[in-house]
Amino acid sequence: MTETVESHTATVTGGGDQPQLLIGGRWVDPHSSETLEVFSPATGERVGSVPHADATDVDTAVGAARAAFDSGVWSSTPPAQRADIIAKVADLIDERGDEITALVSAEMGAPPSAIATLQQLPGTGVLRAYANAARDYQWEEYRTGLFGTTRITREPVGVVGAICAWNVPLFITCNKMGAALAAGCSVVLKPAPETPLTGNYVAQLFIEAGVPAEAISVVTGGTETGQALVAHPDVDKITFTGSTAAGKAIGAACAETLKRCSLELGGKSAAIVLDDVDIAANAFMLTFLGLFNTGQACVAQTRILVPRSRQDEIVAAMVEAAKAMKVGLPSDPEAQLGPLITEKQRQKVEEYIELGKKAGATPVLESERPAGLDSGHFLTPTIFTGVTNDMAIAQEEIFGPVLSVIAYDDVDEAIAIANDSDYGLAGTVWTNDVERGIEISTKIRTGTFGINWYAIDPESPFGGYKNSGIGRENGREGLESFLEHKSTMLPMGYEVSSN
């Protein structure tokens, strides 16, 4: 292996060909001779390339992370100092917002304005939230028990493998690296194969902000790269965001080495619209929350449960709102929705639309491949009515701009439909009566919920029930998931100094 960067001060680079791997903060030649090519889903243009790391590369990265962790260079840095550095990453991202959103946009196709609001804002938000959590956290306490006094400390879990999805890469990378590093862990990041350059970029920002370079490595690659990371005996914890199928495989593989793992997986969230809703005031947000990121969002509200008595009026307002959302190229300043990530994904979404029609649902608005946007995998939204909750379009995560409207007759029925899902990530209720909304929130089996809107709050726990995952990210709970508790029994009669 050849090291070409001697200094630990990594330079921040954007797109283009990056033939080396960032291992322990140094750019080194990979063992693997395979590369991973990145093409824009919007324009088809080649964005760049990175190495497709193999198991030997993963072993090298984990070795570097282990050595960094065991040396204490970061794990022993006082939490308040770690917090200042994590907060500085957020400042750097804000300073370079245009450059970063352009890179993310090049890789995953969404308009830069959407990336600024849906990824940069929450991404910097979680970094600042983890910094706050690390500053406020009770890292040490003394507890009196049966045998006297125990000193209880929280220690970083160790070497973390962070495996990411492509759909909101800036947010996910900030979230995983921010939490693990605030806790004092070393990180081996495995970005999604669709968005590896964003992973490399963000990792370098952590080093620039002051995280010792040894504590950070990035293994760009695909499934096999992730599998090698999950199987590695020197990785203490896997934090994963991606599909439920991959999450189940990763959870099972982690059990082999009894690794800790947290899983942020898919969703099929229900928006319960109550009969007292002011639809004129809420139609845009209701529709947007199902279609943002072109429906490629784990928390997308894609099952819209409407009171039968007001169905026509609500659907008409949603169709109008969906038609007004401009699908376009990243270069179009008015574009709100970008392309689907791949041609295969566009075809999969179109197959679901056919499946919905065959099952008897009616597309009151039907997707088209928009004229003039032939360079990318663009698809305008579909809104189905006449959907029943047993249809595939109501049960399966489509990950595209397809909304299923399901009519209900009374609120208990709506709650039952919302809960009749393998997933449990998010949900919403739409009503003029906030107290009624809160009451309904207590009956829905999901990890997050919103009344008349939805957002992932950086300070509040985020994660799923059921097949939507295990564990929580964000805020204090997100930090805690990278900590172990240690109990040290003090000698009987030992007086703890109050200083």
Q: Active-site residues: which are they?
A: 264
Site membership for ligand NAD, residue 241 (CB under 6 A)? yes
Using CB under 6 A, which residues numbered 297 to 316 contact ligand NAD? 298
Are the C-beta atoms of residues 254 and 108 closer than 8 Å to each other? no
Minimal CA–CA distance to 338: which of 380, 382, 397, 288? 380
Binding of residue 57 to ligand NAD (CB under 6 A): no
The verdict on 397 binding ligand NAD (CB under 6 A) reads: yes
Closest separation between CB of residue 4 and ligand NAD, Å? 26
Cβ proximity of 246 and 240 under 8 Å? yes
Q: What share of the chain is helix, strand, coil (3-state, %, to 5)?
A: 40, 20, 40
| Residue choice 68, 90, 129, 265 for contact with ligand NAD (CB under 6 A) | 265
Determine the residue type at 141: E
* For ligand NAD, the closer CB: 193 or 339: 193
Torsion of CA 162, 166, 171, 173, to 10 degrees: 30
CB 169 within 8 A of CB 191: yes
CB of 411 to ligand NAD, least distance (A): 27
Give dist(CA 399, CA 299) in Å, integer.
10
Q: Which of 178, 196, 266, 307 binds ligand NAD (CB under 6 A)?
A: 266
469 binds ligand NAD (CB under 6 A): yes
State phi, psi for 128 to the nearest 5 degrees.
-70, -35
Classified as helix, coil or strand, 443 is: coil
What's the residue count for the chain?
499
- Quick check: 129 binds ligand NAD (CB under 6 A)? no
Query: Of the two residues 236 and 264, which places its CB atom closer to ligand NAD in the complex?
Result: 264
Are 478 and 122 in contact by the 8 Å Cβ rule? The answer is no
Please give the residues from 190 up to 219 whose contact with ligand NAD meets the rule CB under 6 A: 190, 192-193
Residue 416 makes CB contacts below 8 A (sequence gap 6+) with: none
Which member of 223, 309, 347, 487 binds ligand NAD (CB under 6 A)? 223
Query: Site for ligand NAD (CB under 6 A): which residue of 27, 69, 137, 166?
Result: 166
**Which lies closer to ligand NAD via its Cβ, residue 192 or residue 203?**
192
| Min dist. Cβ of residue 301 to ligand NAD (A) | 13
* 230 binds ligand NAD per the rule CB under 6 A: yes
Which 8-state DSSP code applies to residue 120?
A: I
Using CB positions, name the residue nearest to ligand NAD. Answer: 226
Q: CB-wise, 246 or 406, nearer to ligand NAD?
A: 246
CA distance 38 to 44: 9
Instruction: Enumerate binding residues for ligand NAD (CB under 6 A).
Output: 163-168, 190, 192-193, 222-223, 226-227, 230, 241-243, 246, 249-250, 264-267, 298, 397, 399, 425, 464, 469
